[in-house]
Structure 1
């Protein structure tokens, strides 16, 4: 399991999904342009996830509901919103494809835009098996997919947070 000091102190973890309970854990951080309200709106606009969330193929809801389904990378996930505090934080639990994932987002206004922190705590057999076989000096290869997913989410969030171009005169 992971050291809980690796997690941002303002992330709220549900029981059983802290980094200490995770089979895979990753944290990513970036500053994106625009206010937290804009970033929060983009993250909670679930109807548009298939347009920008890597691997997201379909969402069963047009608005952020307490529960909804997502087809991601060919697997059906049931998503439960664990926390929604606009525009500061959002967290959801996804269950499907043999994986339970809690993803927490923390949005903080800065002079340059919004500091975005996203953390994933994953519980699944596959990361446990890979981690058990991984040579320690080279890190944990089971975390590579979570790192890549976070990088893609943040890159897309940055892209979508850019101001809209002025309409042509």
Structure 2
């Protein structure tokens, strides 16, 4: 288990998904040279994730409002939006492939753009019984995801902050 103090103090964790309750935890952050609304809009458009998020090959809206289905490395995940506060907070839980996870994103205005922080907690039998999710693998995935968001945000037309 991980220390809750490892997490950014402004992350809102749903019940059962704090770093201290997870089998895996990682975080990444970067400064994106674009307004918060621009980076947020790219991330919140879940159906376009397959175009730029590493490992995601499919995404579609789910049967209920604020739900999605995502194919990640060939595994189907059901995604439930937990936090959607444009342009500052985006959080979602995913269930599938023997894991449950929560990923939180914070967007904060910075002097030269937006500071973006992402953290996730993963739980489940696939995490505890498989060495596939070494501590390095999810960290690299978060860094790649954030790098792609940064790259796309910096070339996208600026969105007005709300």
TM-score by length of 2: 0.89
Post-superposition offset of 1:78: 0.2
Matches within 5 A, 1:121-160: 121-129=121-129, 142-160=134-152
Aligned residues between the structures = 154
Higher helix share: 1
Q: Which runs of 5+ in 2 are unaligned?
A: 158-162
Q: Secondary structure at the match of 1:70?
A: strand
Across the aligned residues of Structure 1 and Structure 2, the Cα RMSD in angstroms comes to 1.7
Determine which of 144, 148, 163 is the counterpart of 2:155. Answer: 163
User: In the aligned structure 1, how far is the partner of 2:59 from the partner of 2:140?
Assistant: 21
1:107 aligns with 2:107: yes
Are the aligned partners of 2:80 and 2:94 in contact in 1 as well (CA < 8 Å)?
A: yes
Are the aligned partners of 2:98 and 2:127 in contact in 1 as well (CA < 8 Å)?
A: no
Q: Which residue of 2 aligns with 1:13?
A: 13
Q: Secondary structure at the match of 1:60?
A: strand
Structure 1 pair 22–164 and aligned structure 2 pair: CA distance change class (3 A): closer
Post-superposition offset of 1:164: 4.7
Q: Which runs of 5+ in 1 are unaligned?
A: 132-140
TM-score by length of 1: 0.86
Q: Which residue of 1 aligns with 2:32?
A: 32
User: In the aligned structure 1, how far is the partner of 2:6 from the partner of 2:20?
Assistant: 10
Q: Secondary structure at the match of 1:159?
A: helix
User: In the aligned structure 2, how far is the partner of 1:164 from the partner of 1:46?
Assistant: 16
